[in-house]
Structure 1
Amino acid sequence: MNHYTHLVYIGRFQPMHAAHLKTLQRALRLADHVIVLVGTAFKPRTIKNPFSYEERRMMLLDCLSNEERERVSILPLRDYLYNEHQWLAQVHATVAQQVAHLQEPARIGLIGHLKDHSSYYLKTFPQWTLEDVENIDGLDATTLRQWYFGDDSNESGTPRWDMLLRTRVPLPVLDYLRAFAETRDYLLLKQEQAFTQQYRAAWADAPYPPTFFTVDAVVVCQGHVLLVKRRAQPGKGLWALPGGFVGQDERAEEAMLRELREETGIDEMRAILQTSIKDRRLFDHPERSLRGRTLTEAFLIELPWFELPKVKGGDDAEKARWFPLGDLPELEHHLYEDHLEIINGLLGVA
């Protein structure tokens, strides 16, 4: 049996379930110290990522004894959907920082289960020995989330999800889920799940899985970017780029300009907006949208004026507002889908 100074355990833990805990306990038997890297750490709440990094960190800690806590480091990982090298570099740098104090070379391993395409990352660290664990009890966090945010009716008065999850998640996690179910955030996520299910069901009988095509506008002026606050699901209340679906009789650029005017009220002449387009790029990560396979073409518009044009929310946008580009990292947990990565990609921000 291998023994390590450090084992790295990467996961989203949405939520932490019994198999996660068993894997973590096994890692503690195999290593002096375990580095738990919590993925998708700074995104807003969605039915796929309902809990914040800090909430997941506390769930993990609450399941450990005091002695175990002293041997575990829990750290956040940011998503980089369009730059895997940057994501890998982040992991390497985080782990290197954790072992830097050692006098002797660290013996580092990676622990996890190669279940499907979502765990391919386990093969991207050839310098670390992989401890491949079995699929313990067949547990799947996706199914647990579907139960949790689904139909909770039950004649006994106890939510159906409570009975289903009580044997599948550690007790401290179940206690947290019960408390979270009393919050407004839980109700909003239930609404999002109902919307997403209805949206997908509408296309269930299509002869082929549908692929949707949208456009987004990255409008910048004097170090600011134009964002809108979404009025409805999905992503109700989140800030997003102005944009929407391309009509059957539109080209992508025409659709982008139409959506920009409808959602922000920006009244600059069409010719000025067109001549201010500096770049356009397709963003097509398969998991960028919960609605299904959705491609978006984003356009970079650089307005040359010294004053910010007046804007006002309209159509699908509750509000429209200019944000300083320097404020975007702090706004990440309020930004819709991959829109921060779209902005950074078109502006060349690392």
Structure 2
Amino acid sequence: MQRFDYLVFIGRFQPVHLGHLKVIEAALAQADKLIVICGSSRQAISPRNPFTQSEREAMLRAALPAEWQERVFVVGCSDRMYNDQQWVTEVQSLVDKVIAVDTASLGHRAAEFSIGLVGSSRNRNNYYLQLFPQWQRVEVPDEPGIDAAQLRDCFLSDTCSDFEHCADKLPPAVFDWLMRFKQGEVYPYVVAEQRYLQDFRQRWAAAPYPPTFVTVDAVVIHSGHILLVRRRGMPGRGLWALPGGFVEQDEPIRDAVIRELKEETRLKVPSPVLAGSIRANRVFDHPQRSLRGRTITHAFLIELTPTGDGLPKVRGGDDADRASWVPLSEFSRMEAQLFEDHFYIVNWFLGQI
């Protein structure tokens, strides 16, 4: 007997596997409809996020039996990495919109329907299940022996070319979809990025403890523009980023951010002026913010005062092949083009201005 009008299933589906289908089957046994929310829907392509939101929906649709198709809705959600309340609001809004469209002819509101949240609280990354107390929880145990990170590593690894060993953990239609994906233009880029990251981590494998890296990032604002650089090398080659880098052993963090800013942008503003224009700083330390390993960054908001001479000249240098002033209105649409968590760092600071 169905207990819910709608159940909500939140995940990243990178890739879709048999554990996901188990949750979907259990959900549809207890609900009339299922709303699948794909996280990280607008992040840049990387070894952790090799598939776009539309590609993940294509995988999911390929795996669903025909009789389930009209009962399952798939939408994408941004991560909002440093603002849980923004993320919760977006999820709630997505659910409301799906229900509004689905029931438009009935004239009902989402509040009039019974809604639940399906998933497993035993997964340590599923803390978000606690953020929706208004939705009753439906527990579905994780499928033993299936780990999405291991599936991605196998899919992208040079040393695991026999991807067929993973076939028993994937719906057959998804396995076929992934084999076709290997023939596309994106796959070689993601494999090269994965190889670089594995080599980077291997160089630190002999350390007595897992290393923690300290970096700096500069959020430079001038007359409604933000200063960005385009990355020259891996990881994130070709993506836009904040000017920044690793802190050297003999320098204070504030000096490091100004040094990296000038090295990567050749910004024609004296260092003392930059230091005097720092308006705020914050540590960003999400454990998954960087695929290189545990990386804690100190980000500084630098607001430059207009002088009547226009935007200061910049050009790419050091690790950047290009530097550019980007209008903030344009930046707001660049989430899928930004490196790591830089989009979320900037948005946090913009909320403080």
TM-score, scaled to structure 1? 0.93
1:133 counterpart = 2:140? yes
| Mapped pair 1:339 → 2:342 | yes
User: 1:166 aligns to what SS in structure 2?
Assistant: helix
Q: Match for residue 207 of structure 2?
A: 206
* Alpha-carbon distance between aligned partners in 2 of 1:4 and 1:329, rounded to the nearest angstrom: 37
**Partner residue of 2:170?**
169
Superposed counterparts of 1:42-121, under 5 Å: 42-100=42-100, 101=103, 102=108, 105-121=112-128
2:330 alignment counterpart: 327
Query: What's 1:220 paired with?
Result: 221
Structure 1 distance, partners of 2:269, 2:99, is 55
Once the two structures are superposed, what CA deviation does each residue of 1:66-124 show, in whole Å capped at 9, x if it has no partner? 43221111111111111112211222222233334447831211111233321122233
The 3 A distance-change label for structure 1 pair 64 and 116 is closer
1:328: how far off? 1.6
Correspondence 1:265 to 2:298? no
Aligned partner of 1:299 in structure 2 is 300
**Greater Cα shift, 247-256 or 265-274:** 265-274
The answer on 1:317 being equivalent to 2:320 is: yes
1:287 maps to: 288
* Aligned twin of 1:253: 254
2:157–2:194 CA contact under 8 A, matched in 1 = yes
Q: 1:340 to 1:287 in 2, by over 3 A?
A: same
**Shift of residue 249, structure 1, vs aligned partner:** 0.5
Q: State TM-score, norm by structure 2.
A: 0.92
AA at the equivalent of 2:121:
L
The letter for the 1-side match of 2:155 is Y
In 2: Cα distance, 1:59 partner to 1:44 partner: 19
Distance in 1 (alpha carbons) for counterparts of 2:268 and 2:114? 61
Letter in 1 for 2:303: E
Counterparts of 2:352 and 2:66 in 1: how far apart (Å)? 41
Deviates more, 1:294-303 or 1:243-252: 294-303
Q: How many residues align?
A: 344
Deviation per residue, 1:230-272 (Å, 9 max, x gap): 1111111110000000100111111111111111111221122
* SS state at 2:137 partner: strand
Q: Percent identity?
A: 45
Given that residues 228 and 318 in structure 1 are in contact (C-alpha distance below 8 angstroms), is that contact kept between their aligned partners in structure 2?
A: yes
SS in structure 1 opposite 2:158? coil
SS in 1 for 2:236: coil
Query: Hey, what's the Cα distance between the residues in 2 that align with 1:31 and 1:58?
Result: 23
Runs of 5+ consecutive residues of structure 2 not aligned to the other structure: none
Shift of 1:194: 1.3
Larger deviation, residues 291-300 vs 98-107: 98-107
Stretch moving more, 332-341 or 126-135: 126-135
Contiguous gaps of at least 5 residues in structure 1: 154-158
Q: CA separation in 2, counterparts of 1:123 and 1:278? A: 35
Structure 1 contact 151–160 (Cα < 8 Å) conserved: no
1:281–1:299 Cα contact (<8 Å) kept: yes
